Chains A and B, each alone.
Chain A
């Protein structure tokens, strides 16, 4: 590294014969821009026809957006950082893409008109976030790491919602780079862990909303038989399914890309909340959709949604797995583990979580089918742990599986 970091650097400008020393990170470098926000491609109406000019108008807007993003990436280091710090309109524009940009599980697919421009915007937005997550761009263009942490946090260049969006949108196809980027952000600004902790109550509220919509919330008062109040339309179920899928795929991606974040989820006992939600929501959602799938006019749509529920199930189980793994298995795997963590403590935590979750019969059956307990038992045994307590859990799971008529799966457990 050579030269002063951006946060301490001054640039000398000669204006009308006067030499001025201006901080490299300064509002004076900013030419306030007007930014177009991303909108998904226009959709045809019920007759399959696009309104006249809709496509042309959308393409024009997207080309303007593309041009703005390219301009930002072309700016020299100090101008780029001055822009992203002092021009909030840029972030509204970027956020419009990461919130509405196409996820692989979304319904709407891109056609051959929209695909190239969306691909281009996808890439440019990604590069801008990568640039904002990089404190050392080159030997001469760099920021003091602690100052970098403050800049990105205080100016909302990144926040937890943006990180979740970035993980879900870019994580699947840019795993290594996004993993590095997220870890870099958390490492340089630990306040993001506090924010993550802060959103836990909202996360619980989000799950509660789903349960309430499906009338399966803990304090739900059943409606009278025959009442239409409790019936859900297929559109409602569609929204709920996609929301559930988006929620857990976002969390799964965050935890897989940055496993230390699981600590916050475990501290809030989120894994227990997740298992209870799974038990209430999944069977109800499938049942509701199965009813709709019996209706010839709606069978196709309902069947597609059932497939999405299946993916949401897998995501919920994977999220649970990441939290459990980070707390009860990973500490024994790392070479630099703290001496204070013993295999007994890990087993105890594991038993604590599993003994609560075993009450959720559908959940525990599914979880143990995808992640057999035998592997955990073997792992703890290899680390010299006393697995007597684990046999209690194994027995409990076995009896649940028997009750559920899944006796064939028993051999996988033992």
Chain B
């Protein structure tokens, strides 16, 4: 048994030992935790949220077309390109719009698609071929070039602002970051317990 008791894996912690052996905490029921099931619920909730939020593919499409008309440019081919990539990464009809929304959202304000966003797309759609992501990103960037990046950002922001916003508890509390170690006392004052090992070359003769 590890000296910290409790869990077979995980970092060695005093509190893991205390939770296992002292009777001051509520015992959790690990058997109730089914990650696969929870993830399925969460994914469904996420889809629902995206559907209900102001940022949907039909609204993005509509607003972009409007911006195009204002600027005297036709953007249909780029929007169709994004929709086509979405069709390939999410063949099912009910997730296709979500894919197009996400592709547009992560690409519209980045000249180069950040790795973080690529990971997010992989997370949502599985192992997507990089060239597809590049295709969609390029199409969105063409839109940004034609209507102006700032205008496009503002449009997306307006769509997002339609969602209900509340003030989160603690929004004004400054929380210290995960940071460097605190200042430690001078260790050189402690006894040096590391003895230098001396190997004797002498041999005993009898």
Residues A309-326 near B (CB distance < 8 A): 310-311, 313-314, 317-318
Whether the Cβ atoms of B189 and A74 lie closer than 8 Å is no
Q: Of A11-19, A331-339, A363-371, which binds chain B? A: A363-371
B202 at interface, CB cutoff 8 A: no
Whether the Cβ atoms of B24 and A239 lie closer than 8 Å is no
Which residue of B has the minimal Cβ distance to A404?
B191
Main secondary structure of the interface of A (DSSP, over half): helix
A172 at interface, CB cutoff 8 A: yes
Contacts of A369 in B (CB 8 A): 189-191
> Could you tell me the distance between the alpha carbons of A106 and B10 in the complex, rounded to whole angstroms?
11
Whether the Cβ atoms of A127 and B173 lie closer than 8 Å is yes
Min CB distance, B65 to chain A, in Å? 31
> Could you tell me the distance between the alpha carbons of A53 and B127 in the complex, rounded to whole angstroms?
8
> Could you tell me the distance between the alpha carbons of A250 and B182 in the complex, rounded to whole angstroms?
13
Which residue of B has the minimal Cβ distance to A365?
B191
Whether the Cβ atoms of B33 and A137 lie closer than 8 Å is no
Count residues of chain B with CB under 8 A from any CB of chain A.
60
Total cross-chain contacts (CB, 8 A): 203
Whether the Cβ atoms of A202 and B22 lie closer than 8 Å is yes
Min CB distance, B131 to chain A, in Å? 18
Residues A354-402 near B (CB distance < 8 A): 362, 365-366, 369-370
Count residues of chain A with CB under 8 A from any CB of chain B.
94
Which residue of B has the minimal Cβ distance to A169?
B178
A6 at interface, CB cutoff 8 A: no
Whether the Cβ atoms of A126 and B42 lie closer than 8 Å is no
Whether the Cβ atoms of A137 and B169 lie closer than 8 Å is yes
**Which residue from A127, A251, A314, A362 sits with its C-beta under 8 Å from B175?**
A127
Which residue of A has the minimal Cβ distance to B40?
A34
Which of B33, B123, B178, B195 is packed against the most chain A CB atoms within 10 Å?
B178
Whether the Cβ atoms of A243 and B22 lie closer than 8 Å is no
Whether the Cβ atoms of B35 and A36 lie closer than 8 Å is yes
Q: Of B11-19, B100-108, B145-153, which binds chain A? A: B11-19
Min CB distance, B110 to chain A, in Å? 16
Whether the Cβ atoms of A242 and B177 lie closer than 8 Å is no
